[in-house]
Homo-oligomer: A and B are copies of this chain.
């Protein structure tokens, strides 16, 4: 009898842990209880954009040029600028690529997978800042152009959060998780990197192709699956 009870206990534990991964559709879409099972991670959708170094900014727009902020972004200290650039590869150019501030140590161009065909340059999903070995690209501004030798990436999908968020959500900085989307175009995206630090706001960053494939808008909330 004791033997059966042990087996039962093990089975019920296994069953519960499996159910928590599959019971997704039964979870209410909005709830005030902030637990792991709720869809409570806000989504931020990024189109192609560029972060500039000071040297490249001056080459593109002239010495001592100051970028004009047009909008604060959800991540503290980050903002969209009025200025855009054109990026050019061997097969084509893409105009009106938005500059995001503030300036960084190294210029980084974040494009969509679909852009790699227009430009004729292949690149892979990478975490921001991990540019070693990434391809270069030509950037054109109002006063000049820059030929990057590296810095062209597709942004790996990731979730910004504070250390307090990561503790509450039971994840750690640099952990790879999956995220689940509700709705008629819903599903799961794997390989989403956790980026936990004190200067972040809780937000899951995906690009426009990922958002469109999952039917997600900036009002969408997603759920972490570990």
Residues of A near any B CB (own CB < 8 A): 1, 4, 7-8, 11-12, 14-15, 18-19, 21-22, 112-114, 124-125, 178, 184-191, 208-210, 212-215
Name the residue on B nearest A4 (C-beta).
B4
**Would you call A184 and B15 a contact (CB within 8 A)?**
no
Residues of the B chain whose Cβ atoms lie less than 8 Å from the Cβ of A210 = 213
**Would you call A188 and B188 a contact (CB within 8 A)?**
yes
The distance from the CB of A215 to the nearest CB of chain B, in whole angstroms, is 8
Q: Contact check: which of B15, B185, B191, B209 meets A15 at CB < 8 Å?
A: B15
The distance from the CB of A100 to the nearest CB of chain B, in whole angstroms, is 20
Residues of the B chain whose Cβ atoms lie less than 8 Å from the Cβ of A15 = 11, 14-15, 18
Chain B CB count within 10 A is highest, among A7, A14, A185, for: A185
Residues of the B chain whose Cβ atoms lie less than 8 Å from the Cβ of A1 = 1, 4
* Cα distance A4–B185 in the bound complex, in angstroms: 42
The distance from the CB of A188 to the nearest CB of chain B, in whole angstroms, is 4
**Would you call B213 and A189 a contact (CB within 8 A)?**
yes
Name the residue on B nearest A180 (C-beta).
B188
Q: Contact check: which of B8, B191, B212 meets A113 at CB < 8 Å?
A: B212
* Cα distance A11–B210 in the bound complex, in angstroms: 37
Q: Which 9 A-B pairs rank lowest in CB-CB distance, beginning with the nearest?
A: A113-B212, A213-B213, A18-B18, A188-B188, A210-B213, A187-B189, A209-B212, A11-B11, A187-B190
